[in-house]
Amino acid sequence: MNDPDVLPPVTPKRSNRTRNALGALAVAAVLAGGVTAFVVLRDDDDTSQTEATGGSDAESNAGAAAAAQARARRENFVNSARALQAPLAEAASTADAVSSDLGMCAPDDWQPTAEDIAAANADADALASTFDTYGITHTVEEDDFGFRLVTYDYTDAIAESVASSFWNNRYPPEPIPAEELDRIRAENDGLAARFDNAGIAYTRETDDLGYQLLNYDYTDPNAQAVADAYYTKLYPPEPIPAEELDRIRAENDGLAARF
């Protein structure tokens, strides 16, 4: 009972973590002449502690005033955090009720089926066997569910190439429709013609699926300007509705009147 598109429900435990994050340690440091006053504010209900060193009475008063302001800020901060607890708790209760009604499972409750484990382990065993064939170092570990995990040096170009080829052969990508490939090539032909006219260098590249790429120097402002102009003409942006333009003008008129 696992749907990857369904987010896990919010639980009261998560609400408590949110509350604790809101009440995290805050530190106010005030520099006044020769005095450095530190006001340490904690997320529980203990008394704030203030330490000050050196300075005159006036400087001490300045530090005390800063401490008072910091305490006031702390009270506002804590009150705001407490005000959020009720709606968070309500949201958690609602989410739990909805997930219960829909039969959803929290991530902690998810259990793979025997078929899931068998299919994944068949893939892992096949990948490990392929690595053995090519002499690529790897390890196989099993997690708490029984899934076998194959790990290897992902920075090794040969190992990565073998793994990529393995997965592509085991789960071949769906072919791109011929009409789509023709459309892409026609677009590239149009852009290539404009690059030729502007004297801009480019190359063509076609992948295993027949998808053609037109490569050029994307850091070249002239090349980018030609490409932008081409695609803007090919796919012009949708016009902004007149009502939206009128609304924007009215907003600007109101702002201009206040200047």
**Amino acid in the structure at residue 170:** R
**166 and 179 belong to one structural domain:** no
The predicted model gives 234-251 an average pLDDT of 92
> What is this structure's pTM?
0.38
**100 and 23 belong to one structural domain:** yes
121-125, 200-204, 209-213 — which is least confidently predicted? Answer: 209-213
**195 and 216 belong to one structural domain:** yes
pLDDT score recorded for residue 210: 86
The answer to whether residue 72 scores a pLDDT higher than 90 is: no
**146 and 229 belong to one structural domain:** no
**24 and 99 belong to one structural domain:** yes
Q: Answer whether residue 3 is part of any domain.
A: no
Q: How confident is the model at residue 15 (pLDDT cuts 50, 70, 90)?
A: very low
The answer to whether residue 19 scores a pLDDT higher than 50 is: no
| Dist CA 158 CA 185 (whole Å) | 31
pLDDT score recorded for residue 22: 41
Contact of 27 with 40, CB cutoff 8 Å: yes
**207 and 129 belong to one structural domain:** no
59-63, 234-238, 244-248 — which is least confidently predicted? Answer: 59-63
The predicted model gives 64-93 an average pLDDT of 59
Task: Return the percentage of the chain with pLDDT > 70, whole number.
Answer: 58
pLDDT score recorded for residue 135: 96
Q: Answer whether residue 7 is part of any domain.
A: no
pLDDT score recorded for residue 116: 93
Specify the number of domains making up the chain: 3
Q: How confident is the model at residue 209 (pLDDT cuts 50, 70, 90)?
A: confident
CATH of the domain at 201: 3.30.70
Q: Answer whether residue 2 is part of any domain.
A: no
The answer to whether residue 13 scores a pLDDT higher than 80 is: no
Q: Between residues 192 and 78, which one has the greater pLDDT?
A: 192
Q: Which of 88, 107, 126 is the last residue of a domain?
A: 107
The answer to whether residue 26 scores a pLDDT higher than 80 is: no
Q: Answer whether residue 6 is part of any domain.
A: no
**58 and 132 belong to one structural domain:** no
**141 and 183 belong to one structural domain:** no
The answer to whether residue 156 scores a pLDDT higher than 70 is: yes
Q: Which of 107, 128, 159 is the last residue of a domain?
A: 107
| Dist CA 107 CA 8 (whole Å) | 6
Segments forming the whole domain that contains residue 250: 175-259
| Dist CA 168 CA 195 (whole Å) | 34
Alpha helices in 32-156 (DSSP H): 57-102, 114-133
Q: Which of 155, 170, 185 is the last residue of a domain?
A: 170
DSSP states of 183-199? HHHHHHHHHHHHHHHHT
Q: Answer whether residue 159 is part of any domain.
A: yes
Q: Answer whether residue 4 is part of any domain.
A: no
**64 and 136 belong to one structural domain:** no
**125 and 160 belong to one structural domain:** yes
The predicted model gives 17-32 an average pLDDT of 41
Q: Between residues 40 and 167, which one has the greater pLDDT?
A: 167
**20 and 100 belong to one structural domain:** yes
Q: Answer whether residue 246 is part of any domain.
A: yes
Q: Answer whether residue 181 is part of any domain.
A: yes
pLDDT score recorded for residue 27: 39
Q: How confident is the model at residue 174 (pLDDT cuts 50, 70, 90)?
A: confident
pLDDT score recorded for residue 68: 62
**48 and 128 belong to one structural domain:** no
Torsion (CA) 218, 222, 223, 224 in degrees, nearest 10: 60
